[in-house]
Amino acid sequence: MGADNASLAELVAEVRRAAADMSDGDARTNARIDAIEKSLNALMVKVQRPGALMTASDDEALERKEASDYCVLRRNITVPKSDGNNIIYMPSSTEIDEAITARRGQAQLTRIIE
């Protein structure tokens, strides 16, 4: 009986060590997952922030701003003014993308004509 109790005690000790090791591993895994989640949340805040640009390049940012100005000018020409409404027009992302394409086409056209 004494040998059975000793082996049973060793088995219980081994199970406790394994449980402690698993909880340490779980804690490390949870810490890594939390770090990844924080990074992802920070990235999503940057991407979805109102007014933030979709690109990181300065040239692309300038191109998008010029295309936005192009959209505003086009709207000022095509839509008659109303004395009662002072609504500021902000072009959508799709309109800006179309304006970028139009500006590139105009640049190609002027290269061909010259």
Grade residue 50 by pLDDT with cuts at 50, 70 and 90.
very low
Q: Which two tokens stand for residue 93?
A: 């992302």
How much is the pLDDT for 54? Answer: 53
Does residue 20 have a pLDDT over 70?
yes
Q: What is the mean pLDDT of the chain?
A: 79
Q: Tell me whether residue 46 is exposed, middle or buried, using C-beta atoms within 10 angstroms of its C-beta: 0 to 12, 13 to 18, 19 or more.
A: exposed
Do 89 and 72 touch, CB atoms closer than 8 A? Answer: yes
